[in-house]
């Protein structure tokens, strides 16, 4: 009699297990048949084109002028007039600034007067020497006749020698006074500051009425007709570059615009910064462009080589590093499939594909989506544009 309830309870458990198993099977089937949400992605269609091998500068360079100078005060004085302001264009020889030169004119007059005094002293000494020599000759004649004495002759001849030496000293005084005249005249000429070459005033650090000390900066002037970029390349890239190579130059002030440059100079030595990084300074000439300004920051990409008619893919579509590279390719069922690829030239602009892809394949460029995995259903948006090429606009 006790076994009957036990059998009933056992059959109850079996029925419950069977019910749970049936529910699980139907649940799995329902889960598999549920609608899958497609992930929105951007794509790029693989095509053939040119891929450039680039060497980029290690930091932003600076646009500089072929001729650029900081004009400094050469004398101490008070500024009487300032003729030019920042941004003004000047021609060679134009007056930029004038000093109050009244004291300098007085110095020139005083120096010239000293020269005149020295010349008068020479004439006076020479005249005294001539008189003393004549008197000495008469005294010698009288001595020979027995009238005069030898002592008197010697005294007169000594006086003539003293006068000659005084004339020599006065001649030295003329030389010194003439030098003082030239110094004073040079200082007077420096009382007017002129432009050393044609260009544009970049900075002005002086105002009318200010007193300057020698060496104080007054103006910065540059010739904007010939501009270049000074920038540094990594020491490791030195063997890949040479003068004459073309370069793309970009400015923060003009996003998306590439200016044409040319590598014209490589420094003869490598420099080392405080962190131990080694780089080499280079100069890149720029084509004339009215939009460019001295002092602009510039990024430079040297075009080392160009591979024509090759498959390429945007860098933001590629995963992995070194030889382990892969992309997500969209198949006919709009499913993302991870595929390994071989790469050649690889830059920030484009990556050459040597294997794994064919023209017409679509690869996903929005890899930042965390939901994207191998086998994800995707919905494509507008294809990414081709990488910008080196054109000056």
Parse the chain into domains and list their residue ranges.
41-64+225-380, 67-101+191-222, 102-189
Spatial separation of the C-alpha atoms in residues 88 and 90, rounded to whole Å = 6
Average pLDDT value for residue range 284-288: 90
Q: Which CATH architecture has domain 67-101+191-222?
A: Beta Barrel (2.40)
Using one digit for the tens of pLDDT, what is the confidence trace for 99-115?
877 776 767 777 777 77
Report phi then psi at 19, rounded to 5: -65, -40
CATH superfamily of 41-64+225-380: Efflux pump adaptor protein, beta barrel domain (2.40.30.170)
Half-sphere exposure (Cβ direction) of 272: Cα atoms closer than 13 Å = 3
How would residue 135 be classed by pLDDT, with cut points 50, 70 and 90? low
Average pLDDT value for residue range 140-165: 61
Task: With 0.75 as the threshold, say if the pTM is over it.
Answer: no
CA angle 52/54/57 to nearest 5° reads 160
Matching fold, domains 41-64+225-380 and 67-101+191-222: no
pLDDT at position 150 is 60
Shortest CA distance to 354 belongs to which of 44, 46, 42?
46
Spatial separation of the C-alpha atoms in residues 95 and 196, rounded to whole Å = 10
How would residue 259 be classed by pLDDT, with cut points 50, 70 and 90? very high
Report phi then psi at 175, rounded to 5: -60, -45
Spatial separation of the C-alpha atoms in residues 328 and 345, rounded to whole Å = 20
Average pLDDT value for residue range 274-287: 88
Using one digit for the tens of pLDDT, what is the confidence trace for 304-329?
888 888 899 998 888 888 788 898 88
Spatial separation of the C-alpha atoms in residues 310 and 298, rounded to whole Å = 30
Would the pLDDT of 377 be above 70?
yes
Range of weakest confidence among 107-116, 130-139, 276-285, 340-349 = 130-139
Record the tokens describing residue 189, joined without a space: 């000429």
Whole-number average pLDDT of the chain? 79
Identify the residue whose tokens are 């060679």. 92
Range of weakest confidence among 74-78, 313-317, 383-387 = 383-387
SS (H, E, C) 111-149: HHHHHHHHHHHHHHHHHHHHHHHHHHHHHHHHHHHCCCC
Residue 154 falls in which region: left (phi positive, over 0), alpha (psi -120 to 50) or beta: alpha
pLDDT at position 391 is 35
How would residue 219 be classed by pLDDT, with cut points 50, 70 and 90? very high
Range of weakest confidence among 59-68, 171-180, 207-216, 282-291 = 171-180
pLDDT at position 20 is 75
Average pLDDT value for residue range 154-181: 66
């Amino acid at each position: 009699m006790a076994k009957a309830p036990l059998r009933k309870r056992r059959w109850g458990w079996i029925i419950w297990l069977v019910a749970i198993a049936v529910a699980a099977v139907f649940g799995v089937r329902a889960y598999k048949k549920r609608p899958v949400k497609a992930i929105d992605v951007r794509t790029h269609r693989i095509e053939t084109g040119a891929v450039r091998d680039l060497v980029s500068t290690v930091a932003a360079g600076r646009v500089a002028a072929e001729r650029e100078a900081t004009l400094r005060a050469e004398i101490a004085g008070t500024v009487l007039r300032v003729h030019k302001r920042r941004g003004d264009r000047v021609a060679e020889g134009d007056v930029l600034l004038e000093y109050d030169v009244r004291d300098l004119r007085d110095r020139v007059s005083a120096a010239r007067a000293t020269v005149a005094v020295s010349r008068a002293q020479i004439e006076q000494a020479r005249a005294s020497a001539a008189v003393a020599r004549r008197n000495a000759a008469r005294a010698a004649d009288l001595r020979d006749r027995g009238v005069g004495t030898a002592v008197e002759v010697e005294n007169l001849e000594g006086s003539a020698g003293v006068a000659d030496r005084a004339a020599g000293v006065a001649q030295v005084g003329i030389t010194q006074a003439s030098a003082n005249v030239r110094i004073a005249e040079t200082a007077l000429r420096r009382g007017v500051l002129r432009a050393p070459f044609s260009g544009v005033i970049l900075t002005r650090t002086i105002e009318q009425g200010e007193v300057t000390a020698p060496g104080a900066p007054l103006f910065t002037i540059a010739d904007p007709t010939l501009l270049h970029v000074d920038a540094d390349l990594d020491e490791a890239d030195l063997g890949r570059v040479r003068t004459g190579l073309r370069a793309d130059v970009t400015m923060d002030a003009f996003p998306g615009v590439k200016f044409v440059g040319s590598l014209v100079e490589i420094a003869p030595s490598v420099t080392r910064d405080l962190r131990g990084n080694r780089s080499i300074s280079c100069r890149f000439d720029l084509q004339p462009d009215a939009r460019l300004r001295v002092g602009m920051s510039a990024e430079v990409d040297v075009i080392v080589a160009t591979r024509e008619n090759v498959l390429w893919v945007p860098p933001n579509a590629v995963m992995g590093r070194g030889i382990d590279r892969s992309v997500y390719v969209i198949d006919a069922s709009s499913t993302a499939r991870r595929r390994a690829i071989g790469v050649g030239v690889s830059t920030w602009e484009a990556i050459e594909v040597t294997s794994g892809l064919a023209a017409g394949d679509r690869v996903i460029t929005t890899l930042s989506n965390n939901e994207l995995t191998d086998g994800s259903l995707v919905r494509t948006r507008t294809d990414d544009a081709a990488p910008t090429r080196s054109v000056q606009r």
